[in-house]
Amino acid sequence: MDELDGRKAELEAALADSKLKLDLGIKKEHILYFLHKFTEYDYEDVECQKRLIKTFINSVFVYDDKVVLTFNYSGDNRTITVKEIDAGLATGVRLPHALAHHQQTAQTSRLCGLL
Protein backbone atom coordinates (compact mmCIF):
# COMPACT_ATOMS: atom_id res chain seq x y z
CA MET A 1 0.00 0.00 0.00
CA ASP A 2 2.89 2.37 0.81
CA GLU A 3 4.39 1.64 -2.60
CA LEU A 4 1.10 2.56 -4.31
CA ASP A 5 0.79 5.76 -2.26
CA GLY A 6 4.33 6.72 -3.26
CA ARG A 7 3.58 6.04 -6.92
CA LYS A 8 0.35 8.06 -6.68
CA ALA A 9 2.29 11.03 -5.25
CA GLU A 10 4.84 10.79 -8.09
CA LEU A 11 2.08 10.71 -10.71
CA GLU A 12 0.29 13.68 -9.15
CA ALA A 13 3.54 15.65 -9.13
CA ALA A 14 4.22 14.73 -12.77
CA LEU A 15 0.68 15.77 -13.72
CA ALA A 16 1.02 19.11 -11.95
CA ASP A 17 4.38 19.67 -13.67
CA SER A 18 2.85 18.88 -17.07
CA LYS A 19 -0.03 21.29 -16.50
CA LEU A 20 2.42 24.02 -15.52
CA LYS A 21 4.43 23.44 -18.69
CA LEU A 22 1.30 23.54 -20.84
CA ASP A 23 0.08 26.93 -19.73
CA LEU A 24 3.53 28.24 -18.71
CA GLY A 25 1.84 30.08 -15.87
CA ILE A 26 0.78 32.84 -18.26
CA LYS A 27 -2.33 34.64 -17.14
CA LYS A 28 -4.61 37.09 -18.92
CA GLU A 29 -2.96 39.95 -17.02
CA HIS A 30 0.48 38.94 -18.33
CA ILE A 31 -0.75 39.01 -21.91
CA LEU A 32 -2.47 42.37 -21.46
CA TYR A 33 0.68 43.84 -19.92
CA PHE A 34 2.74 42.52 -22.84
CA LEU A 35 0.35 44.00 -25.41
CA HIS A 36 0.03 47.35 -23.61
CA LYS A 37 3.82 47.73 -23.72
CA PHE A 38 3.47 48.12 -27.49
CA THR A 39 1.64 51.42 -26.97
CA GLU A 40 4.90 52.90 -25.67
CA TYR A 41 6.91 52.10 -28.80
CA ASP A 42 8.04 54.64 -31.38
CA TYR A 43 6.67 53.11 -34.59
CA GLU A 44 8.67 55.51 -36.75
CA ASP A 45 11.87 53.87 -35.47
CA VAL A 46 13.12 51.18 -37.88
CA GLU A 47 14.49 49.03 -35.04
CA CYS A 48 11.07 49.09 -33.38
CA GLN A 49 9.45 47.99 -36.64
CA LYS A 50 11.92 45.11 -36.95
CA ARG A 51 11.25 44.07 -33.34
CA LEU A 52 7.49 43.99 -33.97
CA ILE A 53 7.89 41.88 -37.10
CA LYS A 54 10.27 39.46 -35.34
CA THR A 55 7.84 39.18 -32.43
CA PHE A 56 4.69 38.38 -34.38
CA ILE A 57 5.59 37.30 -37.94
CA ASN A 58 7.26 33.97 -38.66
CA SER A 59 7.53 34.32 -42.43
CA VAL A 60 5.95 35.98 -45.46
CA PHE A 61 5.44 34.27 -48.81
CA VAL A 62 4.50 36.43 -51.79
CA TYR A 63 2.87 34.72 -54.78
CA ASP A 64 1.53 36.23 -58.00
CA ASP A 65 -2.05 36.04 -56.70
CA LYS A 66 -1.71 35.96 -52.91
CA VAL A 67 0.35 36.79 -49.86
CA VAL A 68 0.73 34.19 -47.10
CA LEU A 69 1.74 35.34 -43.61
CA THR A 70 2.74 32.86 -40.94
CA PHE A 71 2.61 33.98 -37.31
CA ASN A 72 4.57 33.22 -34.16
CA TYR A 73 2.11 32.10 -31.52
CA SER A 74 2.78 28.50 -30.54
CA GLY A 75 6.29 28.55 -29.11
CA ASP A 76 7.48 26.47 -32.07
CA ASN A 77 10.66 28.31 -33.05
CA ARG A 78 11.06 26.77 -36.46
CA THR A 79 10.37 28.66 -39.68
CA ILE A 80 7.66 27.12 -41.82
CA THR A 81 8.85 26.21 -45.32
CA VAL A 82 7.43 27.15 -48.69
CA LYS A 83 6.94 23.43 -49.35
CA GLU A 84 4.63 23.18 -46.33
CA ILE A 85 2.73 26.29 -47.41
CA ASP A 86 2.29 25.02 -50.98
CA ALA A 87 1.19 21.57 -49.78
CA GLY A 88 -1.41 23.07 -47.47
CA LEU A 89 -2.73 25.53 -50.05
CA ALA A 90 -2.93 22.84 -52.75
CA THR A 91 -5.05 20.54 -50.61
CA GLY A 92 -7.17 23.31 -49.11
CA VAL A 93 -5.86 22.58 -45.62
CA ARG A 94 -5.80 25.60 -43.37
CA LEU A 95 -2.32 25.77 -41.92
CA PRO A 96 -2.23 26.55 -38.20
CA HIS A 97 0.35 29.33 -38.51
CA ALA A 98 -0.75 30.84 -41.82
CA LEU A 99 -3.15 33.43 -43.11
CA ALA A 100 -3.50 33.70 -46.88
CA HIS A 101 -4.83 36.78 -48.66
CA HIS A 102 -5.91 35.77 -52.15
CA GLN A 103 -7.48 38.99 -53.33
CA GLN A 104 -5.15 41.71 -54.58
CA THR A 105 -6.15 45.08 -53.13
CA ALA A 106 -4.44 48.42 -52.78
CA GLN A 107 -3.95 47.74 -49.08
CA THR A 108 -2.36 44.34 -49.80
CA SER A 109 -0.02 45.95 -52.32
CA ARG A 110 1.00 48.55 -49.74
CA LEU A 111 1.52 45.83 -47.12
CA CYS A 112 3.75 43.87 -49.49
CA GLY A 113 5.78 47.00 -50.13
CA LEU A 114 6.39 47.42 -46.39
CA LEU A 115 7.45 43.85 -45.85
User: Does a structural domain hold residue 45?
Assistant: no
**pLDDT of 111 over the 50 cut:** no
Q: Are residues 27 and 58 in the same domain?
A: no
Please give the Cα distance from 10 to 16 (Å, whole number): 10
Q: Long-range CB contacts (< 8 A, 24+ apart) of 89-96?
A: 95/70
Q: Are residues 115 and 75 in the same domain?
A: yes
pLDDT of residue 46: 92
Average pLDDT (46-71) is: 86
> Pick the residue with more confidence: 74 or 2?
2
Q: Are residues 36 and 78 in the same domain?
A: no
pLDDT of residue 109: 43
- Chain centroid offset of residue 114 CA: 20
Which pLDDT band holds residue 18 (cuts at 50, 70, 90)?
A: confident
Which residue range(s) make up the domain with 102?
54-115
Please give the Cα distance from 113 to 103 (Å, whole number): 16
Number of domains the chain is built from: 2
